[in-house]
Structure 1
Amino acid sequence: MHESTALRWTRRVVLTLLTIFTVLPLYVMVVSSVKPLKDVQGAFTWLPSHVTIQPFIDMWRTVPLGRYFVNSLVVSLSATVCSVLIAIITGYAVSRYRFPGRGTFMTVVLSTQMFPGILFLLPLFLIFVNIDRYTGIVLYGSRLGLTITYLTFALPFSIWLIAGYFDTIPRELDEAARVDGAGPIRTLVRVLLPVAAPGIVAVAIYAFMTAWGEVLFASVLTDESTRTLAVGLRGYANQSNVYWNQVMAASLVISLPVVIGFLGLQRFLVHGLTAGAVKS
């Protein structure tokens, strides 16, 4: 079908505006991160008069950014691995077996996404404190507690996406595997998982990004030793000054893992989300 001139120019204008809206904040961050602090605190200039990499060096000393980086990496990877494993097992069961309450289970799982996260903040805090009081298992202020918290948000969507992706895989593959003598676990591992790789990668990216940039729960359920990057950025502001150039430099550095991972796996992400959406 031939594209009209008006539609073509409308598309160009919209894409141009979206590009500017996306690139402009990133450019401001990059420019501010290579300026001395006095230049950042003054009137903004589009081109830096003095270029320096000192903010990228000082940002590691102003706050314990390395420790925050390790905390974020451990929590995000733990939440991602657990989300993927649980979602695979649950999604396989929901997709391949029919049992009483199956539809209700999926409805409840997906409906949890409707509630804002702040509703769960106080209940989780009280649960963690009481578990520590009665069992001695420390969840409040620990990486384990934060990992469990992030699982409560990543799992519902992950289960729905994996189950939808498994539904798109022909059941003839399962039957062929059973003819060869494979049981359910072997069928899942040897046959379905290689085919469902795009959906699994999509779930992994979603779970990691959800945990990596989360602020609300990390600011309440962590202490100084378990603080994550998203919360640790507040350390660049004190009562007398705000190190804006170091904030921008640190923001660029902590964004790299997500950007690199997303760019490297985006084809799997698009494929996985498209196939998972077929179920809906």
Structure 2
Amino acid sequence: MIETKPFKIIRAIVLSLLTLWVIVPLYVVFSTSVKPLSDVSGVFRWIPERITFEPYLDIWQTVPLGRYFVNSLIITVTATICSVVLAILAAYAISRLDFRGKRAFSLTVLSTQMLPGILFLLPLFLIFTQIRNVTGIQLQGSLGGLILTYLTFTLPFAIWMLTGYFASIPRALEEAAMIDGTSRLGALWRVVLPVAKPGIVAVAVYSFIAAWGEVLFASVLANESTKTLALGLRAYASETDVFWNQLMAASVVVSLPVLIGFMLVQKHLVAGLSAGAVK
């Protein structure tokens, strides 16, 4: 298809507007984070009159951000690892094995993505309460409870995505390995997983991002000692004051782990997301 000049101009305008739509909010966040609080309270100025990095130091004193950071890291990393490991086993079974209830299980996994997350909030709360009453195990307000909760929405998507990716890998590869004496699990570990690395990375990134920025479940199931970073950002706003510069600085700090991780695995992520459309 030969692109005409008007088409190129329209495309350039649309792409420029979309780029501004993304960049302008990021610029507002960063520029606000390097302003004194007195300069933030008035009319917003695109170019800061005074630049200070004190908000990046004050955020650790105003709010126990370090503790929230550790909580988020433990919850997110554990939920991501569990989600990827369980999704690999379930997706491989669905794509390679024939068993009773396979279709029903696949449809159940897919159907969970059609419902909003808030529908699961009350049932999870009641389940955790019942577990506490029967066994004495306190899941509500614990890191383990949040990890189990995050698996409810990261694991189904991970299974669904990896199932399609494993199905695109030729069975001849692992069959050849099994003929040479490797077990099915050995073929999965030595043959399938290296080929599926881009898809696994894509699933891991999705699980990490979904758990890192989750607010709804954490706001109900977490307590003061297990608060995550997403909840901790609220602490910069009280009934009378809002520390906008510190809030924006904390937002930048919270975004850095996801940004750095995305940059490190960008190549594998793009390959994993696009592989299912071309294989």
Alignment TM class, shorter chain as reference: over 0.9
Contact 1:83 1:154 in 2 (8 A): yes
Please state how far the C-alpha of 1:100 moved relative to its aligned partner.
Answer: 2.4
Please state how far the C-alpha of 1:278 moved relative to its aligned partner.
Answer: 6.3
3-state DSSP class of the match of 1:225?
helix
Question: Unmatched 5+ residue regions in structure 2?
Answer: none
The CA RMSD over aligned residues, in Å, is 1.1
Q: Which residue of 2 aligns with 1:121?
A: 121
Question: What's the CA shift string for 1:89-141, capped at 9, x where partnerless?
Answer: 00111111122222221111011101001111111011111111111111100
Please state how far the C-alpha of 1:240 moved relative to its aligned partner.
Answer: 2.1
Q: Which residue of 2 aligns with 1:71?
A: 71
- Which residues in structure 2 correspond to 1:249-260 (within 5 Å)? 249-260=249-260
Question: What's the CA shift string for 1:17-60, capped at 9, x where partnerless?
Answer: 01000000000011100000010011111111111111000000
Which letter does structure 2 place at the counterpart of 1:78?
T
Measured in 2, the distance between the counterparts of 1:193 and 1:232 equals 37
Please state how far the C-alpha of 1:78 moved relative to its aligned partner.
Answer: 0.6
Please state how far the C-alpha of 1:6 moved relative to its aligned partner.
Answer: 2.0
Q: Which residue of 2 aligns with 1:97?
A: 97
Measured in 2, the distance between the counterparts of 1:109 and 1:182 equals 30
Which letter does structure 2 place at the counterpart of 1:157?
F
Q: Which residue of 2 aligns with 1:37?
A: 37
- Which residues in structure 2 correspond to 1:215-254 (within 5 Å)? 215-254=215-254
Measured in 2, the distance between the counterparts of 1:219 and 1:278 equals 40
Please state how far the C-alpha of 1:275 moved relative to its aligned partner.
Answer: 2.4
3-state DSSP class of the match of 2:50?
coil
Contact 1:162 1:276 in 2 (8 A): no
Aligned length: 279
Which letter does structure 2 place at the counterpart of 1:170?
P
Q: Which residue of 2 aligns with 1:185?
A: 185
Measured in 2, the distance between the counterparts of 1:276 and 1:136 equals 45
Measured in 1, the distance between the counterparts of 2:276 and 2:258 equals 22
Q: Which residue of 2 aligns with 1:204?
A: 204
TM-score (norm 1): 0.97
- Which residues in structure 2 correspond to 1:126-137 (within 5 Å)? 126-137=126-137
Which letter does structure 2 place at the counterpart of 1:99?
F
Which letter does structure 2 place at the counterpart of 1:65?
L
Measured in 2, the distance between the counterparts of 1:108 and 1:126 equals 22
- Which residues in structure 2 correspond to 1:132-171 (within 5 Å)? 132-171=132-171
Q: Once structures 1 and 2 are overlaid, which stretch shifts more, 100-109 or 190-199?
A: 100-109
Which letter does structure 1 place at the counterpart of 2:245?
N
Which letter does structure 2 place at the counterpart of 1:251?
S
Which letter does structure 2 place at the counterpart of 1:79?
A
Q: Which residue of 1 aligns with 2:21?
A: 21
Contact 1:164 1:277 in 2 (8 A): no
Please state how far the C-alpha of 1:86 moved relative to its aligned partner.
Answer: 0.2
Measured in 1, the distance between the counterparts of 2:156 and 2:273 equals 15
Contact 1:200 1:272 in 2 (8 A): yes
Q: Which residue of 1 aligns with 2:273?
A: 273
TM-score (norm 2): 0.98
Measured in 2, the distance between the counterparts of 1:102 and 1:124 equals 26
Q: Which residue of 2 aligns with 1:56?
A: 56
Please state how far the C-alpha of 1:277 moved relative to its aligned partner.
Answer: 5.0
Measured in 2, the distance between the counterparts of 1:108 and 1:10 equals 43
Contact 1:164 1:275 in 2 (8 A): no
Please state how far the C-alpha of 1:265 moved relative to its aligned partner.
Answer: 1.1
